Amino acid sequence: MRRVTGLGGVFFKTPDPKKIKEWYAKHLGLPVDDYGASFKWIEVDKPDAKEPALTAWSPFDEKSKYFEPSQKPFMFNYRVENLTELLKVLKEEGVQIVGEVQEYPYGKFGWIMDPDGNKIELWEPKDEGF
């Protein structure tokens, strides 16, 4: 079973998400929106895909609880295949699972903790139309 297939996103806390998005847009040319920025790319394994894949860059308010139980000011999101099966395997391997799987029109999400206390978001994307 394939596990991580790519980087789905980088999320970090900041005192002023709006200000930091404006700075990155002005100085680094990031195409920001309300959530951050999205980078589209073509998967090597799926060159004929109807839609490109996506990696997100997203600043969160420093008071956000979305990264909990991690106390770190950042969280990585990894693209995966078959999230449900992967979480079962990870649980059997002794990995701490956080919360319940959530499903949205753009994919399924699950969370785990690494040994350093970093919360990791796992995303089984539905890239078509996203």
In this prediction, residue 33 carries a pLDDT of 95
What is the C-alpha separation between 105 and 124, in angstroms, rounded? 11
Q: Where are the domains of the chain?
A: 4-125
What is the C-alpha separation between 30 and 47, in angstroms, rounded? 25
Q: How many CA atoms lie within 13 A of 90 on its CB side?
A: 21
Q: Is pLDDT of 17 > 70?
A: yes
Give the pLDDT confidence of 28-83 residue by residue, as tens digits: 999 999 999 999 888 787 778 777 888 999 999 999 999 999 999 999 999 999 99
The predicted model scores a pTM of 0.87
The pLDDT confidence band at residue 108, using thresholds 50, 70 and 90, is very high
Residue 29 is classified by DSSP as -
Q: Is pLDDT of 130 > 70?
A: no
CATH number of 4-125: 3.10.180.10
What is the C-alpha separation between 77 and 33, in angstroms, rounded? 19
What is the C-alpha separation between 49 and 59, in angstroms, rounded? 29
User: How many Cβ atoms sit within 10 Å of the Cβ of residue 127?
Assistant: 17
